Amino acid sequence: MRSTTKVTPITETDFHFTGQTSAYFGKVRDMYGIGDDLMVAVVSDRISAFDVVMARGIPFKGQVLNGVAATFLDSVSDIIPTWKLATPDPNVTIGYRCEPIRLEMVIRGYLTGHAWREYSSGKRIICGAKMPDGMKEHDRFPSPIITPATKAEEGHDEDISPEDIIAREIVSPEIYLELERVTRALFQRGTEIAAERGLILVDTKYEFGIRHGKLMLIDEIHTPDSSRYFYAEGYEKRQANGDTQKQLSKEFVREWLMDHDFMGLENQTPPDLDDGFVELVSSRYIELFEKVTGTSFKGDTSDNPLDRIKKSVEEWLAKR
């Protein structure tokens, strides 16, 4: 396991880049507007679960997310235009400014995670999508289901059906149909790439925006924060035996928190992440990077990562 004890995680940023016009601090990404048409996404090492940001950061996590997202954004650019222009730093992606659509297009190929929790409580419809009777946890759906969620500014995202999306005029019926079409195409591409790496893309989410009247893919895709992967080898045998699936995702963080009596409910306080668990989480993220990209992870261990980021971004902007 790669030691992370000497790596300082990035948990806060406060940049003032040349030409900066705005700043937004999300759960994981801090977004800086440059002029009228550019965004600088600084991917921190913060980790969130149940829509709550933990007090401690995870070394290398931001570099993993940024690297995986950049790889997959490039791999789907023939399906839909993406916001990405460049990755001038291990923790940074620079791209086009888009008007975000306040939806997460969640797509699920398997009965896992939130879908399983809903299913096991007796529900058979989630976000208007029907789930067959007689399924077990981690079973494959006959065909992937789309379960959108509203994109909350604060607090929890909420499940929403296509009918409610249209009724609330979040997007037009025409745009929603295009969102579903592109979501399925992206998931199919991600599934194919995962299969080449011996993985199963279980579920994921995509976010979209509008730029000059055209739909664009924004944010991250197919990362361990936005996606869940199973190991393909042994999947069928584990299902037949009722064994736990071997997976690469952030779900084990949620499970650890639930074991420590935290699910993001009102009046609940997140438990402290101990050194051993932080090291484990970091190693899991690195493992997923190497597995899904097929390349070795070479993490930058700069003593002053914020200075490195500032320099990298300013150099890119100066050449723009």
- What pLDDT is attached to residue 237? 97
Q: pTM, whole model, 2 decimals?
A: 0.89
**Does residue 236 share a domain with residue 121?**
yes
Give every residue of the chain whose pLDDT is below 50, as ranges.
1-2
pLDDT for the residue numbered 1 = 42
Which residues constitute the domain of residue 219? 100-249
Residues 42 and 105 in one domain: no
Sign of CA dihedral 278, 279, 284, 286: positive
Same domain, residue pair 177 and 189: yes
Residue at token pair 């979040």: 170
Read off φ and ψ for residue 227, nearest 5 degrees: -140, 165
Torsion of CA 136, 137, 142, 144, to 10 degrees: 160
Alpha helices in the chain (DSSP H): 61-75, 114-120, 162-167, 173-196, 235-241, 251-259, 275-293, 305-319
pLDDT digits (tens, 9 = 90+) for 291-309: 999 999 999 998 899 999 9
The CATH number covering residue 29 comes to 3.30.200.20
Q: Clarify whether residues 220 and 296 are in a common domain.
A: no
Reading the block at residue 295, the tokens are 């390349």
- Tell me the longest C-alpha to C-alpha distance in the chain: 59
Q: What is the CATH number of the domain that holds 203?
A: 3.30.470.20
Within-domain flag for 237: yes
| Claim to verify: residue 245 and residue 188 sit in the same structural domain | yes
Residues 77 and 105 in one domain: no
User: Residue 103 has what pLDDT?
Assistant: 96
